[in-house]
């Protein structure tokens, strides 16, 4: 399941996916077993100090704090590369993801329409 979620995050990055760059897509693994339980990473190349993050976990790994821990790590990674703003989009009804973003000091700034439907836009500025 975790590998499928990683693949989905990579798929969302589409043509912008490049595993050789430091701000790419990473696996989220359990420390205890080393098993991949999801993915987190940057979906598009940095633009004017801003980058978009996306993440997902296998259903069995949700509620364990992994998304919060992984998001905190990639915020630090982005900051260490001189970025100043991070953006995330979530489904309107994904309250678990909303809580993860709020704990990471993201602020919901509005609703956007995309090919997938309505999404909420979240911003952390500054990192």
Burial of 92 (0-12, 13-18, 19+ CB in 10 A): exposed
Return the closest-CA partner of residue 31 out of 64, 71, 4: 64
Specify the pLDDT at position 8: 74
Beta-strand ranges (E) seen in the chain are: 25-29, 36-42, 50-57, 85-91, 107-114, 117-124
pLDDT reading at 58 higher than 90: no
Task: Indicate the pTM of the whole model.
Answer: 0.85
- Gap between the Cα atoms of 61 and 21, Å rounded: 27
pLDDT reading at 2 higher than 70: no
The pLDDT-based confidence of 59 (bands split at 50, 70, 90) is confident
Quote the mean pLDDT of the chain. Answer: 88
Tell me the average pLDDT across 49-69.
Answer: 92
> For the segment 98-127, what is each residue's pLDDT rounded down to a tens digit?
999 999 999 999 999 977 799 999 999 999
Contact status, residue 86 vs residue 122, Cβ threshold 8 Å: no
Specify the pLDDT at position 3: 60
How many CB atoms are closer than 10 A to CB 65? Answer: 11
- Which is higher by pLDDT, 16 or 28? 28
Contact status, residue 42 vs residue 77, Cβ threshold 8 Å: no
Specify the pLDDT at position 45: 79
Return the closest-CA partner of residue 39 out of 77, 76, 13, 78: 13
């Amino acid at each position: 399941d975790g590998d499928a979620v990683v693949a989905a995050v990579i798929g969302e990055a589409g043509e912008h996916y490049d595993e050789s760059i430091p701000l790419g897509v990473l696996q989220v693994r359990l420390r205890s077993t080393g098993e991949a339980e999801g993915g987190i990473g940057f979906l598009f190349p940095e633009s004017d100090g801003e980058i978009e993050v996306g993440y997902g976990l296998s259903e069995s790994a949700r509620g364990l704090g992994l998304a919060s821990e992984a998001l905190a790590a990639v915020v630090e990674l982005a900051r260490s590369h001189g970025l100043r703003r991070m953006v995330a989009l979530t489904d309107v009804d994904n309250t678990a993801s909303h809580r993860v973003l709020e704990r990471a000091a993201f602020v919901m700034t509005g609703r956007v329409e995309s090919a997938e439907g309505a999404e909420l836009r979240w911003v952390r500025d500054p990192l």
